[in-house]
Amino acid sequence: MEQNTPTEPILKLDKVSFQYSNHYQSVEAVREASAEFFEGKMYAIIGKSGSGKSTLLSLIAGLALPTDGQVLYRGVPTDAVDLDKYRRENVAVVYQSFNLFPLMTCLENVCFPMELLGKSPKNAAVTAREYIAHVNLPDSVHKRFPNMISGGEKQRVAIARALASGAKVILADEPTGNLDIANGEKIVQLLRDLAHEDNYTVIVVTHDLGITTVADEVMQMSDGYLKPLLLDELPVLDAFTVSEQD
């Protein structure tokens, strides 16, 4: 079902740059990146290893502040907010390696962000069960630990935990990287459904070029520069290799 695009982006990059230095060199990892991200849409950001896409994701996630320019969430720059609060409530990251707590059950993993925000364990558990069901997992995973379930199930639990944070922006860092093709396709479809049906903003940083066929918009990072790609430009992506890592 086609949705009307809101007039104001939930997230905006305004000439964002990021530079870091060590004893040997100074690296401009992101160079004046500008983009707008709207609710109800799924975005794919692709690029070769070292292109700057993971650094850009970190800036959007509030894990670092831009050297120049601004990342704005609902019009407010991240350098003007409490970053801890921003990360807890506004953006949620889903990682390639899942990053689940190994000594917590799947239900406890999903409860964690809600309890962190002050929800009682009892109420958090009720809501966590709803999120677990929403990502198409059975009740049987509730009492299982992460090492007792498959990679595809782990990623679904990680997505459920992201939803439980209440964040409206979901950042997925290589979400299919540790999955087989079949499970990877299911995760991509789930992320797309969350955007289109539940009005989340989903931004996927990936080497999986299959995601570009289902994303609403595709952007390419190259030498720190971010640019949108049109459909007739996508064949040039054949040069990328799925196995590369940032």
> How does pLDDT run across 130-170, given as a tens digit for each residue?
999 999 999 999 999 999 999 999 999 999 999 999 999 99
Q: Are 174 and 96 in contact (CB under 8 A)?
A: yes
Q: Are 40 and 197 in contact (CB under 8 A)?
A: no
Does residue 245 sit in helix, strand or coil?
Answer: coil
Q: What pLDDT shows up at residue 230? A: 76
The model's pTM is 0.89
Q: For the domain bounded by 8-90+168-246, which CATH number is listed?
A: 3.40.50.300
> What are the tokens at 137?
């997992």
Query: In sequence order, what E strands does the chain have?
Result: 11-21, 26-37, 42-46, 68-73, 76-77, 91-95, 169-173, 201-206, 217-222, 225-229
The DSSP secondary-structure symbol of 52 reads S
Q: What pLDDT shows up at residue 232? A: 63
Q: Which residue in 206, 102, 106, 194 sits closest to 153, CA to CA?
A: 106
> What are the tokens at 219?
């952007």
CA distance 29 to 13: 15
Torsion angles phi and psi, residue 179, rounded to 5? -120, 155
> What are the tokens at 196?
């289109």
Mean pLDDT by 10 residues, the chain (246 residues): 68 95 84 97 91 93 96 96 94 92 96 94 96 95 96 95 95 90 90 96 89 92 91 54 40
Helices (H), 95-180: 106-116, 121-134, 151-164
Q: What pLDDT shows up at residue 121? A: 95
- Rounded to whole angstroms, what are the CA distances from 204 to 46, 131, 240? 8, 20, 16
